[in-house]
Amino acid sequence: AEVVWSVIHGVVLGSSRRLRSAHSIGAMAEQWVVKVKIETLDRGGVKVKNMWDAGQVVSVQIEPHATINMLKQRIALLVSAHTKHQRITNEAGLEFGDITKLADCEGLENNGTVLLHVEQPKAEEKVIEPLSDDEELWAGAADDDAGEPMP
């Protein structure tokens, strides 16, 4: 059976009447595998159930037109570290900006390696102050308002 495709406003229409994005069809063909070496992993003393530790390598499948921030989002799911606490560098130590596309990163290509540095600040402990013994003040205030009706 012959399949007829036509492109209308960036959308590919197939003979089965299913809509597919022309961009997604081309993007499905090219995926990069980026190896992420966890260089430092400081979670700020927070206990996390996670199998990844410093020194290990995680492979992430991602499109080459994706940004460093998109890579950080995928890494965040794997290592349980928010994107704002992550820094991504190449093996030479050059840090990549969040809006830099992977294809534009110096020294990075398909099956290339980047270094992950996680530095999460320590969680502040809240100090709970004891309540004062001023029940007699509240009792006096209740007597003053006894004559006024509630709305």
Q: Say how far apart CA 128 and CA 145 lie, in whole Å.
A: 31
User: What is the pTM assigned to this prediction?
Assistant: 0.62
Residue among 131, 72, 126 nearest 99 (CA):
72
pLDDT at 141: 58
Local mean pLDDT, 10-residue blocks, the chain (151 residues): 44 46 54 95 82 91 95 92 94 95 94 94 77 64 62 73
pLDDT at 28: 54
Positive or negative torsion for Cα 55, 59, 65, 68: negative
Cα separations in angstroms, 76 against 61, 85, 145: 14, 9, 55
pLDDT at 4: 44
- DSSP assignment string, 62-85: E-TT-BHHHHHHHHHHHHT--GGG
pLDDT at 102: 95
